[in-house]
Amino acid sequence: MDDRILRPMTFLFEFSMLTMAMMGTGINVVDLIRLKLRNGDSSSFWEDKWYAGGVIKELFPRLYALELHKHATVRMKLMAPSLDNSFRRRVRSGAEKSQFNYLLEIVQVINLVPCED
């Protein structure tokens, strides 16, 4: 068999074995995988784990419920005039406002680079 085909298969096999071995320890290997963000064109703002703290839709469920463009890329959201530009209504006080302010803090330190994801 071609060595170029065997390498990815071997990696997948070893990764699956590692994942199964770690399940018994309470460590979820999939949770440790993080997407490397570059220009943000291929990364879903809400659904991909591009932020080390977790998936944005899970961290900010009230904001996700307001979003009209749930499949927007990171680049689309960060290049928009404001984060709430695609919400179905304005952010209200309380938990929504708290989540929105925290999300603003997160995205303020994100710098996209001109490389493809």
pLDDT digits (tens, 9 = 90+) for 30-42: 555 544 555 566 7
Dihedral, CA of residue 19, residue 25, residue 30 and residue 33, to nearest 10: -110
Q: What is the mean pLDDT of the chain?
A: 78
Q: Is 42 within 8 Å of 76 (Cβ atoms)?
A: no
| DSSP-derived 3-state class of residue 8 | helix
Provide the pLDDT confidence category of residue 45 given band limits of 50, 70 and 90: very high
Distance CA(82)–CA(42), nearest Å, equals 20
Block residue for tokens 């928009």: 80
Q: Domain residue spans in the chain?
A: 3-32, 34-117
Query: What pLDDT digit, counting tens, does each position of 79-106 carry?
Result: 899 999 999 999 999 999 999 999 999 8
pLDDT beyond 70 at 66 = yes
- Residue with the bigger pLDDT between 30 and 112: it is 112
Two tokens, residue 86: 């695609």
Whole-model pTM: value is: 0.64
